[in-house]
Amino acid sequence: MDNRELNPVSANEPAPLPPGTVVARLASIGLLAAAIAGLFLYAGGWFNPHALTPAAMVDTFEHVDGVHPGFRRNHAKGVCVTGFFESNGQGQTLSKAQVFEAGRVPVIGRFALAGGQPYAADTPQTVRSLALLFKSPNGEEWRTAMLNIPVFPVNTPQAFHDFLVVTSPDPQTGKVDGAAVGAFVSKHPETAAALKILGSHAPSSGFSDGAYYALNAFRFVNAKGESIPVRWWIKPDQSTVTENSAATDKNYLFDALIAHLHSGPLRWHLMLIVGQPGDPTAEAASMWPADRQQIDAGTITIDTIESEDTSPTRDINFDPLILPDGISPSDDPLLSARSAAYSQSFTRREGEKKSPSAISTAEVAK
């Protein structure tokens, strides 16, 4: 017997739908698919082309400094170093990260000049950076990119973007528009305050005798589970070095660093500034009160130097949010933005043909 007669409404043979219902159901399916696709594109920023995205931030660097394929979009001119960190164990009161246990871990790093021009001439005023990567025995990494200025000029990604634009020289005149800078600063009192601090903070004579500041606050978590706001900076062991070489040579800062490292290792103390409850952690443009406790966590020794042309460090993204367990991001919005923009810059440059670094292998061998 044909079972269809017994089961006229079985799943296999339903009564036919009226044509109008078929159309309505087809339309509903189409609408649902279109709505999901629309949400997906919305989440991907397709309907908001003027938002400040990681790509837009890096585009601005390319606009300001030009596109230099293969190079970092910021801190483009640099040289690679290696060394080690000898922890004295003091940092463990703040953080459970293995890097703070007493002992030695390898460090790789990169000295650089701020800005996206890989062949820019060294000047005393150009902001200098030192990026470091500490590798713990358990395989965890701590990457940090520090600057030789004690405060950052801005507090937010948008302000950073706008500051970058207004402080860039006009391509026609080669001059910075002072009125535009004034207008920006008057809208950003935190920048006015930061620029005042920076104005009274003379840069060191070179890379070797400079202090470098992490600027952003982080949260350290110790073995007891306590979360403590911390900022760090590194304090040079070598006192101010008077440069003999003329500051007119375009690589004079790097050449001095190379000469120093050829004559012996350079050392810095890793200083952890312990924040108090209420200290702002989302204001890179301001310093914490000067009386905050500082813990000397150990010594960073830099003893070898190598051109980017041969060093694997060229292909390392010094993303400040690559952190070991025991160091966490704070609520500082610049941290996530830096991480996102560095990743964008890294992705662009890794796919590009490489050009020789201004600090060539021959320069480093001098």
Partner 1 sequence: MSTTTNPTQFAFLSRILHWLMAALLIAMLFIGVSMVCSLGDYNRLLAIHRPLGIAILILAAIRLITRLLTPAPALPQSVAPSERVIVKLSEFLLYALFIALPLVGWAMLSAGHYPIVMFGSVHLPPILPARPELYATLRKTHTILAYALFLTFLAHMSAVLFHTLVLRDGLLSRMVPWTVRPAKGESQS
Active site residues: 75
| Alpha carbons 218 and 174: distance in angstroms, whole number | 38
Is there binding between residue 116 and partner 1 (CB under 8 A)? Answer: no
Residue from 96, 131, 129 nearest 114 by CA: 129
Q: How far is the CB of 214 from partner 1 (least distance, A)?
A: 16
Q: How far is the CB of 103 from partner 1 (least distance, A)?
A: 16
Is there binding between residue 336 and partner 1 (CB under 8 A)? Answer: yes
Restricted to residues 45-64, the positions that interact with partner 1 (CB under 8 A) are 45, 51-55, 57
Interface residue with partner 1, options 47, 325, 355, 365 (CB under 8 A):
325
Non-local CB neighbours of 177 within 8 Å, separated by 6+ positions: 166, 170
Is there binding between residue 317 and partner 1 (CB under 8 A)? Answer: yes
User: Residue 226 is which amino acid?
Assistant: E
Q: How far is the CB of 263 from partner 1 (least distance, A)?
A: 31
Contact 252, 284 (CB under 8 A): no
Interface residue with partner 1, options 217, 321, 358, 359 (CB under 8 A):
321
| Alpha carbons 111 and 72: distance in angstroms, whole number | 13
Decide whether 26 or 67 has the Cβ nearer to partner 1. Answer: 26
Decide whether 142 or 213 has the Cβ nearer to partner 1. Answer: 142
What tokens does 346 get? 């890294």
The 13-42 contact track toward partner 1, x by CB under 8 A, reads -x--x----x--xx-xxx-xx--xx-xx--
Residue from 339, 328, 342, 323 nearest 281 by CA: 328
Is there binding between residue 178 and partner 1 (CB under 8 A)? Answer: no
Using DSSP's 3-state secondary structure scheme, residue 228 falls into strand
Interface residue with partner 1, options 65, 122, 140, 308 (CB under 8 A):
140
User: Rg (Cα) of the chain, in Å, rounded?
Assistant: 27
Interface residue with partner 1, options 256, 341, 358, 364 (CB under 8 A):
341
Where b means 16+ CB within 10 Å and e means fewer, 137-172 reads: eeebebbbbbbbbebbbbbbbebbbbbbebebeeee
| Alpha carbons 72 and 108: distance in angstroms, whole number | 17
Binding site for partner 1 (CB under 8 A): 3, 6-7, 10-12, 14, 17, 22, 25-26, 28-30, 32-33, 36-37, 39-40, 43-45, 51-55, 57, 98, 138-141, 157, 312, 315-317, 321-322, 324-325, 329, 333, 335-337, 339-341, 343, 346-347, 350-352
